[in-house]
Structure 1
Amino acid sequence: MKQVPDHEDEVLDLERHQDPGRNRITPVVQLPPEVALTVVTALAGLVRRAHRREHESPTPPRALKEAQSFEEGDVFMLAPPFEGYFADRYLMDFYDTRERGICSRMHLHTGLRFVRMMTGPDTTIRVSSLSPLTVRSRPDWTTPLHAFVDRLPDTPEGVHRERYNVVVPPNCWVDMQIPRGVSHQFNAVGPHAVIDSVHPEESIETLREGMSGYRMMAQTIFLAEHRSSAATCEDTGDGG
């Protein structure tokens, strides 16, 4: 549980944190570039239209705000939770890490997640964690997902943490199961990347703690005070 449900920038002690489990990644399908671009563009369009509506007609105080922003990108709550159904579904239109010059931070959630990552042409998503990522094999994929290990950047003095990475290649759908409390980090490199995410426990904490206005960041706890430069997360580990 978070210390303060309304706190959108709560930070956990990086040195002491240990993941209680591992994230699991399942390759789903590789698509022709024109097909992948059509799908990603259509889903990103839903997010962008929701944000235009929010800009033109802001959500009233204490009402559910469907168009919000995360560190990784703009989001649209496609299917909100309700009393008796503690789950939601959102779409995220990723920021291009190179354009912003910064990376999203390593973080965890107090509720589990199911994420489908989708990339279009000339776009990859680097998925990272403080524990090794389990990648299920798919013999029909011509190129397996590339995995590598580097050092988590910008840690406090005297703190060294390994960072485990898997790169989602262009024109792919990849599923990821994120157990409760397990660290993860997403950074897209390129213009065409979306996430379709289901949060099976999203509103339990929100409702129990009486949070003042529903926010999709309610269950997010960061493992860094500040975001690092783009150079620390745009590398794919193979010279790409």
Structure 2
Amino acid sequence: MTHGTETTGRMKQSPDHEDEILDVRRHQDPGRNRLTPVVQLPPDVALSVVDALAGLVRAAHHTEQTHPTPAGVLKQAQEFEEGDVFMLEPPFEGFFADRYLMDFYDTSERDICSRMHLHTGLRFVRMMTGPETTIRVSSLSPITVRPAAANWTGPLRAFTDALPGTPTGVHRDRHNVIVPPNSWVDMQIPRGVSHQFNAVGPNAVIDSVHPEESIETLREGMSGYRMMAQTIFLAKDKSPATTCANLTDPSSSTRH
């Protein structure tokens, strides 16, 4: 099993395991995530977009509850630690990618933060927020914030704090960037690079592309397209909302 320093070969000990844990003491990211501010919208426009996309996820999950997917058929309504998911566009032979939408959970409402994790394939993520909602993006490596693609009001807030839930006596820096309300931000996540998303507020959604989905399944020997099976966690347990709902760390505020 690799520990974050290799970019080829098998990453998981048990490919179908949906809660596999990697020792955070030994993991080193093989690269850095890149974040691009895209556009900021009027609150009513941002809310309309987020509601429309989140509505697709909610409708898919309602359908799954009333008419469960038969065994052996791709289940498109799934769950992540950060929110409910709908695989909008599954991969097919000759096109090794899928696209999913995620309706974020409100961290402060659930009093649970998602765990730091990595994936067996790269990801492209567009995060969208509506009114009174932010997303805290975190990684064990500094996050590269690229120039805004259009007019953007002020720099994104960034700071470093301590990763919660580490073994006794182990300290790992956690690098954080805050996505403000009514904003679109793109994030490029290389294979094997740690990341963590936590929304604070009710209006947040992700539109994500997995460009290696079928390849991952073949490489890792997975028995089906279960997105959580391509996730490797860097903590055994989820932490309370106090470890991710705060938006700044005054003791060590910095920009990357």
Partner of 1:207: 218
Q: Which amino acid aligns with 2:230?
A: Q
Residues 1:73 and 2:91 aligned together: no
2:125 paired residue among 97, 115, 129: 115
Equivalent residue, structure 1, for 2:245: 234
- The RMSD of aligned alpha carbons is 1.2
Cα deviations across residues 122-172 of structure 1 (Å, max 9, x unaligned)? 000000000000001227211211000000012101210000000000000
Deviation at 1:233, TM superposition (A): 0.1
Report the alpha carbon displacement of residue 84 of structure 1 after superposing the two structures with TM.
2.2
1:176 corresponds to: 187
- State the distance in 2 between where 1:178 and 1:3 align: 22
Q: Which residue of 1 aligns with 2:234?
A: 223
How far apart, CA to CA, are the structure 2 residues paired with 1:93 and 1:234?
17
1:21 aligns with 2:31: yes
Q: Give a deviation string over 1:158-187, Cα, whole Å, max 9, x none.
A: 210000000000000000000110000000
Question: Does the 8 A contact of 1:206 with 1:218 survive in 2?
Answer: no
Q: CA deviation at 1:83?
A: 2.0
Return closer, same or farther for 1:148/1:47 CA change in 2, 3 Å cut-off. Answer: same
SS in 2 for 1:164: strand
Matched positions, count:
239
Question: How many angstroms does 1:206 deviate by?
Answer: 1.5
Partner of 2:254: none
The C-alpha deviation readout for 1:41-79, integer Å capped at 9, x for no partner, is 000000000000000000001110000000000000000
**1:153 pairs with 2:164:** yes
Taking structure 1 as the reference length, the TM-score comes to 0.97
Aligned to 1:84: 94
Q: Which residue of the partner structure matches residue 8 of structure 1? A: 18
Q: Is contact 1:50–1:67 with CA below 8 Å preserved after alignment?
A: yes
Change (3 A) 1:32 1:238: farther
How do 1:52-71 residues align onto structure 2 when only pairs under 5 Å count?
Answer: 52-71=62-81
Contact 1:40 1:118 in 2 (8 A): yes
1:166 aligns with 2:177: yes
**Deviation at 1:97?**
0.2
How far apart are the structure 2 equivalents of 1:208 and 1:179? Answer: 16
Give the whole-Å Cα distance in 2 for the aligned partners of 1:225 and 1:62: 29
Unaligned runs of 5+ in 1: none
Q: 1:209 to 1:163 in 2, by over 3 A?
A: closer
Q: Give the deviation of 1:209 after TM superposition.
A: 4.7
Report deviation, 1:87: 0.6
In 1, Cα distance between equivalents of 2:230 and 2:42: 36
Separation of aligned partners in 2, 1:141 and 1:70? 30
Unaligned runs of 5+ in 2: 1-10, 251-256
Partner Cα separation in structure 1 for residue 216 and residue 109 of structure 2: 34
1:104 corresponds to 2:114: yes
TM-score (structure 2 length as normaliser):
0.91
In the aligned structure 2, how far is the partner of 1:238 from the partner of 1:12? 27
- The CA deviation at 1:238 is 5.9
Is the 8 Å Cα contact of residues 62 and 214 (structure 1) preserved in structure 2?
A: no
* Separation (CA, whole Å) in 1 of partners of 2:239 and 2:38: 30
CA distance in 1, matches of 2:224, 2:172: 35
Taking every aligned residue pair, what percent have the same amino acid on both sides? 79
